[in-house]
Amino acid sequence: GENVEQHPSTLSVQEGDSAVIKCTYSDSASNYFPWYKQELGKRPQLIIDIRSNVGEKKDQRIAVTLNKTAKHFSLHITETQPEDSAVYFCAASIRDIPTFGRGTSLIVHP
Amino acid sequence: GAVVSQHPSRVICKSGTSVKIECRSLDFQATTMFWYRQFPKQSLMLMATSNEGSKATYEQGVEKDKFLINHASLTLSTLTVTSAHPEDSSFYICSARGEKRKYGNTIYFGEGSWLTVV
């Protein structure tokens, strides 16, 4: 089955800095890559996603890039704010079934 | 947006008893529902995938007789943990996906249920 690796497990940045979270996947059949944000004690929420026919997608301060050849994709958050602090999960989907990475705990210090 | 409600949010049960967790899609029809288990500071481990009206597909290593999943309607799926043991204590979370034409590939998560077996 699909295997998704996510790094780093913890990321600490100063407010205003950028944050980058990277994921790799193993199965080239994966064609949909969502990113979820899970705040403490709350449900995961979709923040951005990308399909395999697109290399980059941006939504305000958040962007995702996909390199199909290398089988890796990344989440970029610019101008980080304390409210960005949460656990972020990447996922790779095959036949509409997502496999999640282990999560990255992002801490933004004011 | 699409809302998924999960109940109960917290449950404590005695070892050997069974406990049922419900997952409802409130404002859309969920063609597929997923059940996950999440350990503290760890990822979402898929337990099973269920489609309305058909048997759930369990992931390798998940005992289907212990974790009974029923997806009886397009808005309700239930997970029953049978003969619960303390090692079953965990955070269980469901997610649902609607019609692809309307919702694409997006899956929506429930609030999760904390199960403690004593």
Query: What is chain B's mean pLDDT, rounded?
Result: 92
Tracing tokens 């008893």 back to the chain, one arrives at: B17
Please state, as a whole number, how many other Cβ atoms lie within 10 Å of the Cβ of residue A103. 23
| Chain pair A-B, CB pairs under 8 angstroms | 44
Q: Enumerate the residues of chain A whose CB falls inside 8 A of the CB of residue B42.
A: 102-103
Report the C-alpha dihedral over residues B42, B46, B52, B57, rounded to 10 degrees. Answer: -160
According to DSSP, the residues that pair with A25 across neighbouring strands are A4
Q: Is the pLDDT of residue B84 over 90?
A: yes
Sheet holding A56-59, edge to edge: A4-7, A19-25, A72-77, A62-67, A56-59
Q: What is the pLDDT of residue B104?
A: 80
Q: What is the pLDDT of residue B106?
A: 86
Q: Which of B89, B80, B99, B77 is nearest to B4 (CA)?
A: B77
> Do the chains contact at B107 and A97, CB–CB below 8 Å?
no
8-state DSSP, B26: S
According to DSSP, the residues that pair with B117 across neighbouring strands are B13
Q: Enumerate the residues of chain B whose CB falls inside 8 A of the CB of residue A100.
A: 43-44, 46
Q: Is the pLDDT of residue B60 over 80?
A: yes
Instruction: Give the chain B residue whose CA is nearest to the CA of A92.
Output: B105
Q: What is the pLDDT of residue A26?
A: 96
Q: What is the pLDDT of residue B69?
A: 94
> Do the chains contact at B107 and A46, CB–CB below 8 Å?
yes
